[in-house]
Each structure stands twice: as structure tokens, then as C-alpha cells.
Amino acid sequence: MENEKKKNIDRYKKVFWAVFSPLLAVLTVWAVLEQNKSVSIKDIIDTFSKTNKVWFTLAAICSFLFVVLEGMAICSILKGAGYRPKPFDGLIYSTSDVYFSAITPSATGGQPAAAYFMLRDGISAGVVTATLIVNLMMYTVSLVVLGIVAVILHPHAFLGFSPLSKVLIISGAVVLGTLSFCFFFMLKNGNKVFSWLERFLNFLKRKRIVHIPERVFRKVNKTRKDYAECSKLLANNYSILLKSFLWTLLQRLSQIIAPVLLYLSLGGNVQHSSLIFSKQCLITVGYNLIPIPGAMGVADYLMIDGFSEIMGRNAAFGLEMLSRGLTFYICVSVSGVITLVGYIIKRKKKTTVN
């Protein structure tokens, strides 16, 4: 009865976020338009029509590379663990992560969705857990590195933000640094993490808070052994970690460079490209701590605030709308379609085999 109730609650949560996320997207666009009433949807369409299509196409390619490169990063980790995933498998792991991260708070649905597809492909739970932890660790580390690079390139870039934006960027840097350390701790000390989990499950069982069958403990124990073996292999093999970091760094770069290319597509000054890049690095650091799907609203505010110093508020507004539309809304939509297609293909293959 309790399990059925929990399933219903989880189902309602998924439905809520599936409905709330598009609504939040609409509200975000409306709020941004309200902030700058001198610009309308028609102005945005006109702005798009005036873009240099070569630069715009390059920006679109970079946006899609964000998804492809995450798949490459995950595949590189799995190969280090002894698996041989196909590029299409890596793409599905990535698109499912991107799509479900965007429609759930704090990106809580991304990793479980990617894990679901990995488990369906016969990868053990322990290896899946270790792989996702390494991927998350490199994701946060790459952002910290890019934030440092941004400050080195343009030390004054941070000073051009408003006080609120500065607080968000500093907080984001602290959170990302802390998460990087936590993920590394989990990778190196998997036994401790699983010991805490087992103690927690035993506590729930002992206090009769939740009925936990023995098969759950057996499954946790097996996952613990697989995880310990995989995490030890990954943590002590710096070539695997380096490859994963480089793929993830390229992934982050592809997303951050897209606004720079869009800026150039709008006739922006090439000499300001590196400053736009530095600003976008800091913006990305700033909105990654917000527990809202895609940091909608916050990311928009940071972009308009940061870019206004370089090109004026109206131009910054146009660039922000184009950039978010391409790198987030369209990217997430395409990821959702690819994930659905991948699920159908994998399901048909499994049915055929059985």
C-alpha cells in the first residue's frame, strides 16, 4: 500500500514538473519582455532575420555539440570501465540527461534518466553510479576551470555585473567547488557512502518506518561491490579522468561559445568576442546553483545584466533571447525528441531479441 502511494506521489511530481516547466518558460519570456517593453516578439523575429546565417549556423552546431559531447564523455568513462557503448547509446544517455534535467528541479531527473538507459543496455548499477559521479564531477570542475579562465582573460569582466549578479556568481563558484570535492570524495570513498546508505536502510527497517525486503539489501550490496571495483579503477586511472575532463570541457565550451557566435551574427565587434566569452563563463557559473529547471529567469537576468555593459540593454536583450532560445529551449526540445526515438528503437530491439 505504501509503495503504491509512493509511486502515485512520484507520478504526480513528474506530471507537475512536465506541466510547470513549459509554463515557467512562458512566464520567463513574458517577464523578460515586461522588463524591456521597448522590445516586442516582432523585434526578436526581426533581429533573427538580420543575423548572419553563417555565424548563426555555427552557433546552432555548437548548441547541438553540447549534447553530443556529453555522450562522448560518458562513453569514454564506460570504455575505461571495460564496456563498449555505441555512439548512439552515448547520444541517448546524453539527451535523456539534458531533457529530464531541464524539466525537473535541480536537474534531479537527468541522472536517473541516463541511468535508466544504461541499465537497460546491461551496464551494472555500480558502474552506472560511478560513471555518473565521474561525469558530474568533471561537469562541475570544467565550470570552475572556465570561471578561472574568464577572470584571467578579463579581470574586469566580473566588475561589470550588478551586485545581485556578483552574489550569484560568487555563490555559484563556491557551490561548484564544494560539489567537485564531494563528487571526488564519493568516488574515492564509495564504501563509506554505501555504508551510510545501508545504515539508513537498516534504521528505517528497524524503526518499521518503511518495509524493506531483503532483496533490496542484496541489491545494494551487489551495487556496492560493483561500484567499489569500478570507482577504484576510475579514480586510480588518471588517463580515464583526463579524457573525461577534456570531453566535458569541450562540452561546456560548445555551449558557452554559442552566445559569442550569435553576438557576431548580429554584427558584433570581433574585438569584444573574448569579453563576451568571459562574461558567459561567469554567467554559467552564476546560474548553475539555482534549483529551477534550466535556471529559467535567473540565467536570463544574468545574461542581460552582463551583456548590457558591452552593447546596450536592447541589444543585450535580443542576444539573450536568441541565445537562450537556441542553447536551451530548442536544445531541450530536440533532446526530448531524440530520447523518445531512442526509447522506441531500444524497446523494439529488446522485443525482437526476446
3-state SS string for the chain: CHHHHHHHHHHHHHHHHHHHHHHHHHHHHHHHHHHCCCCCHHHHHHHHHCCCHHHHHHHHHHHHHHHHHHHHHHHHHHHHCCCCCCHHHHHHHHHHHHHHHHCCHHHCCHHHHHHHHHHHCCCCHHHHHHHHHHHHHHHHHHHHHHHHHHHHHCCCCHHHCCHHHHHHHHHHHHHHHHHHHHHHHHHHCHHHHHHHHHHHHHHHHHCCCCCCCHHHHHHHHHHHHHHHHHHHHHHCCHHHHHHHHHHHHHHHHHHHHHHHHHHHHCCCCHHHHHHHHHHHHHHHHHHCCCCCHHHCCHHHHHHHHHHHHHHCHHHHHHHHHHHHHHHHHHHHHHHHHHHHHHHHHHHHHHHHHC
Question: Whole-angstrom distance between the N-terminal and C-terminal Cα of the chain?
Answer: 32
Q: Which three cell numbers stand for residue 337?
A: 525528441
Any residues with CB less than 8 A from the CB of 85 and at least 6 apart, and which?
A: 74, 75, 78, 79, 93, 121, 123
Report the pLDDT value the prediction gives residue 136, as an integer from 0 to 100.
85
Angstrom distance (rounded) from CA 31 to CA 297: 8
Of the candidates 125, 120, 130, 124, which has an alpha carbon nearest to the alpha carbon of residue 92? 120
Overall residue count recorded for the chain in this entry? 354
Q: What's residue 24's pLDDT?
A: 47
Cell 546565417 sits at which residue?
Answer: 53
pLDDT truncated to tens, each residue of the chain (354 aa)?
445 555 555 555 555 545 544 554 455 444 444 444 444 556 566 767 778 889 999 999 999 999 999 999 999 999 888 888 899 999 999 998 888 887 776 556 678 888 889 988 888 888 888 888 888 889 889 999 999 999 999 989 898 899 999 999 999 899 888 888 887 777 776 666 666 666 666 666 666 665 666 666 666 666 666 666 677 767 777 888 889 999 999 999 999 999 999 999 988 889 999 999 999 999 999 888 776 666 777 888 899 899 988 888 888 888 888 888 888 888 888 888 888 888 888 877 766 655
